[in-house]
Amino acid sequence: MRTAEITRKTKETDITVKLDLDGGNADISTGIGFFDHMLTAFAVHGGMGLTVKAVGDLQVDGHHTVEDVGIVIGKAFKEAIGDMKGIARYGTAFIPMDEALGFASIDISGRPFLVFNAEFSDDRIGEFDTCLAEEFFRAFAFNAGVTLHLKCEYGKNDHHIAEALFKAAAHAVKAAKEVSGNEILSTKGVL
């Protein structure tokens, strides 16, 4: 079973994540409605079971909660993916969301990196600060040990732009985590 459960408690947040790379239900509670919606989409479209229980200092703002959830999901992903033997390793997806087109490409390589190229016209989507989309994906990528490229090719509605990016990331992850053999996909023999 490719599963992990990680808990992280700081003075700012208390987060528990359960992740099953091979499927299951999504049960998300962060206190930020739009973020819950995006994480649910990430789990469902990524073919993953994901439970997130997060309590954060939302009286300050959503930054600590969103970033720390990214950290914990990333750590859970790294633990669940294990030694990376047999995985496809790479995944790429374009996802249309009405007028917006999101792109994601991932390499489960052990080398963390994020390229994020998307612009939002408003500061918020509901209770979610749009600048936190990049913070989530950076925290996820660096703690999962993956290289992740995200780009909004075009779009006008911030909800659609964010959703296209989260769903594109999910479909890229879904492709990259699939088991297609029993060797590490690398000319070096290791990742």
Mean pLDDT of 37-54: 98
Residue 121 is assigned to a structural domain of this protein: yes
pLDDT in tens, 86-109: 899 999 999 999 999 999 999 999
Residue 184 is assigned to a structural domain of this protein: no
Residue 151 is assigned to a structural domain of this protein: yes
Residue 27 is assigned to a structural domain of this protein: yes
State the CATH number of the domain containing residue 162: 3.30.230.40
Residue 186 is assigned to a structural domain of this protein: no
Question: What is the spatial distance between Cα 82 and Cα 67, in angstroms, rounded to a whole number?
Answer: 23
Question: What is the spatial distance between Cα 163 and Cα 96, in angstroms, rounded to a whole number?
Answer: 9
Mean pLDDT of 180-184: 79
Instruction: Give pTM, 2 decimals.
Output: 0.96
Residue 191 is assigned to a structural domain of this protein: no
**Considering its fold, how many domains does the chain have in total?**
1
Question: What is the spatial distance between Cα 81 and Cα 174, in angstroms, rounded to a whole number?
Answer: 12
pLDDT in tens, 96-142: 999 999 999 999 999 999 999 999 999 999 999 999 999 999 999 99
Q: Which domain holds residue 151?
A: 3-177
